[in-house]
Amino acid sequence: MANIKEQYIKYSLIAIILIMGIILLQQITPFMGGLLGAITIYILVRKHMNTLTTKRKMKRSKAATLITCEVLFLFLVPLSCVVWLIINRLGNVHISISSIIAPIQQAETFIKSKIGFDILGSNAVSWMVSKAPEIGQAVMGEISSFIINVFVVVFVLYFMLVGGPQMENYLKDIMPFSPENRHHVLQEVKVIVRSNAIGIPLQALIQGGIATVGYIIFGVPSLVLWGLLTCFATVIPVVGTSLVWVPLALYMMLEGNWFDAVGLLIYGVLVIAQMDNFIRFILQKKLADIHPLITIFGVIIGLSIFGFMGIIFGPLLLSLFLLFVNMFKKEYLDSKNN
């Protein structure tokens, strides 16, 4: 009877924890980017924190304040300035809707006269124009979310740094793994987070610089804007920077600038795209030898679940899943076979 009562209490407590955890997770979803950002930065600055507290004998609160200020002024403020610069540049870009629609309508009329079929349909152009306000609202919503999550990063990071040892020991105690597997899991988390948190921004800067050289050569307007957009486009798997330079070349064609547009397309295919693959290969070998498929599918999964921070935690999630499957195989399947 006592055993049944203990089991009832045990599983009831597990059910309560799961239900409350799901409710809390739903409520903190808008702040997930900030929480994951704080975790990422904590892993990156953890060694620096230990140096300040052990070698220099600095109090944890003072060391946490110092590191938080460093992160704020060296990372978050520059990133916020880049976002503000992109918004400002986009606000100053005036594109004539008629100059874009007119060539499209001319091409549509020509194709219709040849094949007798209306490709876009009568309401397609008006539908595209009507979607512009929705895109603007979505962009403003993302900007508001970014500002809120910057404050979340600063707030959470400070308390993670102050209570670092207690937090880490608590997580180690509740992890359902053997000491050896626990070490593998923690190492996997550390390696992948460091690799993506350092490698992705580095690759974005290099790719953005290479693309900007091409934009200068072929007379692309608003160089800073398109260069920054190219940097951000590097995180998108498979298509990457082509999301910027291909539409940009097509727009230059619609403007009648065929020579520079074709030159930009050739430069994009032969230089930007090839350098993209080369840089990814070099950085993966230097930082962490992660299979390219894990990175590609991890980013795709992560972006849909975690938003922008999915570029880091998507590959981590997929790598941990494969690690857990391998752990299960070694501990249970292989032992039974032997």
CB-based burial, 47-66: b 16+ in 10 Å, e otherwise: eebeebbeeeebeeeebbee
Same domain, 269 and 252: yes
Mean pLDDT over residues 292-303, rounded? 75
Same domain, 148 and 169: yes
How many Cβ atoms sit within 10 Å of the Cβ of residue 305? 12
In a domain, 46, yes or no: yes
Last residue of a domain, one of 174, 202, 226: 174
Same domain, 169 and 182: no
Mean pLDDT over residues 282-294, rounded? 68
Calpha distance 38→17 (Å, rounded)? 24
Same domain, 338 and 198: yes
Mean pLDDT over residues 299-316, rounded? 73
Residue 191 has pLDDT above 70, yes or no: yes
- Measure Cα distances from 37 to 17, 121, 173, 263, 288 in Å: 25, 45, 24, 39, 20
99-137 pLDDT tens trace: 555 555 555 565 556 555 554 555 555 555 555 555 555
Same domain, 87 and 198: no
Same domain, 207 and 333: yes
Last residue of a domain, one of 148, 174, 200: 174
Same domain, 153 and 261: no
In a domain, 10, yes or no: no
Same domain, 225 and 145: no
The total domain count for the chain is 2
Torsion angle of the four alpha carbons 10, 167, 305, 242, in this order, in degrees rounded to the nearest 10: -160
Last residue of a domain, one of 156, 174, 192: 174
In a domain, 11, yes or no: no
Give the residue numbers spanning the domain of 49.
29-95+133-174
Residue 96 has pLDDT above 50, yes or no: no
pTM of the model: 0.71
